[in-house]
Structure 1
């Protein structure tokens, strides 16, 4: 180790001697230089002196050989130089391309990373597609839920539709916030749910039996779309719409047929609705039975009073229709009255007997009809009296004498309601009597005791008008009367006073028997006469004609009237 270091020091000293300005860069680290220095170290002085010459000769010889080699192989050198230059250019081009490649590597790396990310997403989508393909049947079942529910609703399979809606609701609660498709299915099913709700409510507007009503309301309760009171209101509104449709379909041309059909349809269908309501909402039954019908006015439509208010409204609507049709005119009031009373009586089973509300309507209609008939009678009498003349009038009938009162009871019963024959001599009075009889015969078929006083007052007014018109006729024609005509006019006044007026009184009592009225009022016959109930005030009627009446006839007529008792006939009270 020490020898090697000493050799290196010697070599360095030798190199400094040879190269005082420093070792050239091309010789630094050359192993041949070390070998040559080692060789120099073995040479003697003479050899060293000759070394320079030897080196010069050798250099010259090498140059010569090099020149010879170059001359003999110049093509090879040229080719080698060209190849070297070509290789250099190629290396330079390659270096430029490598630089370009290095400059594009970051972008390429980013693209590769992006591709990797997309590849990962594609891989994930492929995985999801594979799972979707594997779960295709289950996914189709979920995606077809809205169509399936729509089909169930269309075919009326509401039980299955409710189960589907419940399942979708649970599915939306668990997965709706994660999966948009599930959210869309939930919204579609909710829209169909509202469609089913509207369809169920619409079915309540059809002609339904109790089991179907129970089923539909059961579905509505399960849907929980309405509260209890709201469900009652919806039910009553729907059934009311159906009932109204049935009533509106009745032809209105004939009042009798319209009213008869209205009574029948209202009685049957309204009773069915009440039965359905109480079966569906049994908790409201106690409240409906405990509330009288007359206390239902002003009741608000909520809670337990909802049904009573609705029923009161429907009965009021029926009563309005009844009054309108009766005002239009019906051919048989007694038939309508019987149907209405049966209607009201049948509803007593459900705590809604409204016969007390029907009676005033019939009383008012009967009174108005009778008054209208009497007004027409008065007009006809005035027309006939204007055309009446006493010229050449011959009396073919004489008034019955007092011995008429001595007839047997059976004969009086037969003749008591026959019009006096003396009226045939005086046509205006005969027309007047026929008008009274027609009005009373129409009234007799349906004669409520409540109109007895009104009928009596109406006839009282009519007879007073007749007396005034007869007096006016006398004042107008008296100056031209002949003795025969004056006698005939006196007979006309006697016929009116002593035949027509008592006969009208008997007819009034025939329609309204005093005995029956006293039983209903709880008073005696004497009190009835004192109160002048169903009794004409004959002095007031005859007041305008009292100075024209023969006194003898007046006495005889008064005696006959006093000995004759009116016999009642069968009437409908």
Structure 2
């Protein structure tokens, strides 16, 4: 190793001596140079002195040989030169083409990779197509699932539709994330699922029997679209819409027919809905029985008060319709009252007896109707009194029979309730009595004890008004009275005071027997009379006319006559 390094150093020194300006480029790296330097190292001094001359001679000799060779073989040299030039140009073209190829090789490589990728995709697609063709029947069954479910919904086969929806749901959970077609099928089935939900809810708005209701609610429960309370609410809303549509279809032209039909439809259908609800949601039955029908306000949809609130609203709606139709006017209140009471009694089986809510409505309507009739009677009496004249009036009837009955101690005919014949002599009083009788006869068909005091007060006010109208008639016409007209007017006042007023009192007790009222209130007849219940205050009625009435002394010989005539004697004494 050290010898080789020493040789290299020696060679470098020799080269610096030979080539002070540096080794020419054409000699660098030439192995012959190293061999020549080794050879020089073996030469002696004399040989080194002669080496330059030898080299010059050898160079000259080689040059001569080269010239001789060129002259001898000039054709070969020319051909070689031409071939070399041609080869050089070909190499240049080849180099240019190689450069172009090198530039295009990346694009070609990318195209090759792309081709390989597409080829792989085509191969995969071909494989998938082959698999698809092989599994064609099974794929068609899956692809036709939305159409099959739509057909099941359209034909009402909800059981099969639910099974299909459940199958598609499981399929979507396993394959929906990776297979777009399956995901599309899942979305289509979900849309049809919502359609089926709407259709099932819509079917509950139709006339359904209990088995069908149970089936529909069973489907809704399996769909799990609503919670328990929401399902109850949806059921009540749907059945309420159906009941409302049935009630809205009733013609409203005739109040009697409308109310009768409303009672029938509400009673039957509402009871059916309650039966269906309790059969479908049995857990709410115990709460309904314990709670009954209560006045509810601010009810939250917690499932416990929902049914009671809905039932309360439906009964309120029925009572509102009842009051509206009664106010419109019906022919037979007693018939409607019987139907309503039967309606309320039938609902006592479900803890919703609402007869106590019906009674005030009928009482109010009966009272208003009677008061309206009495107002018309007073208006009619006023018109007849304006047309009445005392000229040439001859009394054809006397009060002899009534006075004789009072004096002999026998009672008048209390069963016939025939009006006094003396009223025929005075047409306005006869018209007034007929008006009272018509109103009382209409009231008698449906006369609740609750209106007894109101009826008595209404007749009290009416008779007081009549007395004032008679007094006004007297003040207007008294200056022109003849002796006969004055006597006739006194008889008119006597007929009003001693015949009409007691007769009206008797008619009131005919409609509201004191014995029945005393039993109903739990008081005696004496207490009933002391409190002026169903008794007219005849002294107050006759107060305006007391100075025009003749003095009359009556003998009280019977309890009934005493009750009727004592007030008259008070009026005369006053």
Range into which the TM-score falls when normalised by the shorter chain: 0.7 to 0.9
2:222 paired with 1:253:
no
SS of 1:293's equivalent in the other structure is coil
- Tell me the equivalent position of 1:412: 413
- Structure 1 residues 22, 183: closer, same or farther in 2, change over 3 A? farther
Deviation at 1:318, TM superposition (A): 0.4
- Tell me the equivalent position of 2:366: 366
- Structure 1 residues 486, 116: closer, same or farther in 2, change over 3 A? same
- Tell me the equivalent position of 2:32: none
Deviation at 1:505, TM superposition (A): 0.7
How many residue pairs match? The answer is: 510
Deviation at 1:105, TM superposition (A): 3.9
Deviation at 1:196, TM superposition (A): 1.3
Deviation at 1:466, TM superposition (A): 0.9
**How many Å separate the matches in 1 of 2:444 and 2:123?**
102
- Tell me the equivalent position of 2:553: 555
- Tell me the equivalent position of 2:269: 269
Task: Return 494-503 or 288-297, whichever deviates more.
Answer: 288-297
- Tell me the equivalent position of 1:137: 137
Report if the CA contact (8 A) 2:149-2:192 is conserved: yes
- Structure 1 residues 383, 99: closer, same or farther in 2, change over 3 A? closer
2:351 paired with 1:333:
no
Report if the CA contact (8 A) 1:344-1:355 is conserved: yes
**How many Å separate the matches in 2 of 1:207 and 1:300?**
28
- Structure 1 residues 187, 22: closer, same or farther in 2, change over 3 A? farther
- Structure 1 residues 293, 87: closer, same or farther in 2, change over 3 A? closer
Deviation at 1:107, TM superposition (A): 3.2
- Tell me the equivalent position of 2:424: 424
**How many Å separate the matches in 1 of 2:105 and 2:536?**
132
- Tell me the equivalent position of 1:308: 308
Report if the CA contact (8 A) 1:293-1:312 is conserved: yes
**How many Å separate the matches in 1 of 2:517 and 2:562?**
20
Report if the CA contact (8 A) 1:498-1:557 is conserved: no
2:184 paired with 1:184:
yes
**How many Å separate the matches in 1 of 2:544 and 2:209?**
70
Deviation at 1:252, TM superposition (A): 1.0
Deviation at 1:311, TM superposition (A): 0.3
- Tell me the equivalent position of 1:459: 459
Report if the CA contact (8 A) 2:409-2:556 is conserved: no
- Tell me the equivalent position of 2:535: 535
Report if the CA contact (8 A) 2:411-2:558 is conserved: no
- Tell me the equivalent position of 1:434: 434
Deviations 1:384-443 (A, max 9, x none): 1111110011111111333335899898245x4011111011000000000000000000
2:401 paired with 1:403:
no
Deviation at 1:153, TM superposition (A): 1.4
Deviation at 1:102, TM superposition (A): 5.5
Deviations 1:109-135 (A, max 9, x none): 332232122111111111111111111
- Structure 1 residues 472, 106: closer, same or farther in 2, change over 3 A? closer
**How many Å separate the matches in 2 of 1:111 and 1:300?**
72
- What is the 5 A alignment of 1:491-530? 491-530=491-530
Deviation at 1:515, TM superposition (A): 0.9
Deviations 1:460-485 (A, max 9, x none): 11111111111111111111111111
- Structure 1 residues 177, 534: closer, same or farther in 2, change over 3 A? same
Report if the CA contact (8 A) 1:297-1:312 is conserved: no
**How many Å separate the matches in 2 of 1:89 and 1:209?**
106
Task: Return 506-515 or 93-102, whichever deviates more.
Answer: 93-102
SS of 1:365's equivalent in the other structure is helix
- Structure 1 residues 550, 107: closer, same or farther in 2, change over 3 A? closer
Deviation at 1:531, TM superposition (A): 1.1
**How many Å separate the matches in 2 of 1:536 and 1:557?**
21
- Structure 1 residues 298, 114: closer, same or farther in 2, change over 3 A? closer
- Tell me the equivalent position of 2:38: none
- Tell me the equivalent position of 2:10: none
- Tell me the equivalent position of 1:207: 207
- Structure 1 residues 21, 555: closer, same or farther in 2, change over 3 A? farther
Gaps of at least 5 residues in structure 1 are: 1-15, 28-54, 71-77, 567-573
**How many Å separate the matches in 2 of 1:520 and 1:300?**
42
- Tell me the equivalent position of 2:160: 160
Task: Return 211-220 or 83-92, whichever deviates more.
Answer: 83-92
**How many Å separate the matches in 2 of 1:550 and 1:96?**
157
**How many Å separate the matches in 1 of 2:397 and 2:557?**
20
**How many Å separate the matches in 2 of 1:22 and 1:100?**
51
- Tell me the equivalent position of 1:9: none
SS of 1:398's equivalent in the other structure is coil
**How many Å separate the matches in 2 of 1:358 and 1:21?**
154
- Structure 1 residues 113, 547: closer, same or farther in 2, change over 3 A? closer
- Structure 1 residues 126, 533: closer, same or farther in 2, change over 3 A? same
- Tell me the equivalent position of 2:377: 377
Deviation at 1:360, TM superposition (A): 0.5
Report if the CA contact (8 A) 2:232-2:303 is conserved: no
Deviation at 1:272, TM superposition (A): 0.4
Report if the CA contact (8 A) 2:385-2:428 is conserved: yes
**How many Å separate the matches in 2 of 1:213 and 1:407?**
77
Deviation at 1:296, TM superposition (A): 3.7
- Tell me the equivalent position of 1:119: 119
**How many Å separate the matches in 2 of 1:219 and 1:89?**
92
Report if the CA contact (8 A) 1:301-1:309 is conserved: no
SS of 2:130's equivalent in the other structure is helix
- What is the 5 A alignment of 1:216-231? 216-231=216-231
SS of 1:555's equivalent in the other structure is coil
Deviation at 1:294, TM superposition (A): 3.5
Gaps of at least 5 residues in structure 2 are: 1-50, 565-574
Deviations 1:44-86 (A, max 9, x none): xxxxxxxxxxx9xxx99xx99x99xx9xxxxxxx999999999
Deviations 1:270-294 (A, max 9, x none): 0000000000000000000111324
SS of 1:412's equivalent in the other structure is coil
**How many Å separate the matches in 2 of 1:100 and 1:391?**
148
- Structure 1 residues 232, 467: closer, same or farther in 2, change over 3 A? same
**How many Å separate the matches in 1 of 2:348 and 2:499?**
49
